[in-house]
Amino acid sequence: MLRYLLGFILCAGSAIAGAQQFPDKSITLVVPFSPGGTSDVTARPLAQAMASNLGKSIIVENRAGAGGAIGMAHASKAKPDGYTLLMALPSISIIPASDRVTGRKSLYSQSDLKPIARITADPTLFVVNANSPWKTLDDFVQSAKKEPGTISYSSSGIYGTTHVAMEMFAQAAGIKLLHVPYPGGGQQVMAVVSQEVQATPQALAPLQQHIKAGKLRALAVWGSERLSTLPDVPSMKELGYDVEFQLWTGMFAPAGTPDDVIKRLRDSVREAVRSPAFVSTLDSMQTPIQYLDADEFEKFLTIDSNRLEASVVKMGKL
């Protein structure tokens, strides 16, 4: 009996020691898109804030490709020890749904990743080049109806986050657009600035400098309300299109990561999003912090995933 008791005490002591020791080396935060997009510009200041309270560096690693699937698959297959994390977008739900629709073998399953926290949740903006002829969303829709399949827009890839957002709008408006994929948000935005394509759906953060500089024009925001930062830009629902899309960012760890490590990471994220440096950085990007801890984030994911999957099924096999 004494032997078993001593064994239990030693195991418990090891678990406590493990929690206290984590992290004892640098952590990699995978961003499954190229630099400059929503997940990237959120991940970098968050990594700095977390590094401050964890006492170890957090290296942001961009692994772009396949609408985010390459990076998410890489993170899902990493050793579940807390040293490889993922900063994801709604495409974490969209990609497995699209794989089911197309009959492709999925590179990962959403169940392969454990939610730690949601960081932001931006309503998506619909923008065009400021030199375009479209001053309103109705102008754009009328042009698209006259020339179906010729007006181009940039996205993160087939069934990628911004692809689904734009197709939700196109379905509601009864129009057909030309989809041009790019590996990351920064490139999607610059494609409109340079007039390689004519429109894009993005969060405000990577757009705001170009809107302020007069290079891009915002025609609408996905959602039911206008943004306080752009009060003159109407919402999709206000204009009669029953579509809503939030471009959220969230942190995940590989499934099977020990609970004590997950708790340490949750505590670190919670502290980081409240830090003056992180709040100031996101304020400067006009990106609202919409933090949800793991339990609430998981509930949100269930609702959001079901809604996005329904949209992907409606899109069908492309």
Secondary element (H or E) of residue 86? strand 84-88
pLDDT at 206: 84
Q: What is the CA radius of gyration of the chain?
A: 21
Residue 158: which region, alpha, beta or left (left: phi > 0; alpha: psi -120 to 50)? beta
Q: What pLDDT score does 20 carry?
A: 62
Does the domain at 26-122+247-315 match CATH 2.60.120.10? Answer given as no
Q: For the chain, give every residue range classified as CATH 3.40.190.10.
A: 125-221
pLDDT at residue 17, as a whole number: 46
- Chunk the chain into consecutive blocks of 10 residues (it has 318) and report each block's average pLDDT, rounded to whole numbers: 48 48 96 89 96 97 90 97 97 93 93 97 92 98 97 90 91 95 88 97 88 97 86 95 90 98 98 97 87 96 90 88
Question: Which residue ranges does the chain devote to CATH 3.40.190.150?
Answer: 26-122+247-315
**CATH architecture of residue range(s) 125-221:** 3-Layer(aba) Sandwich (3.40)
Report the distance separating Cα 147 and Cα 172, nearest Å.
17
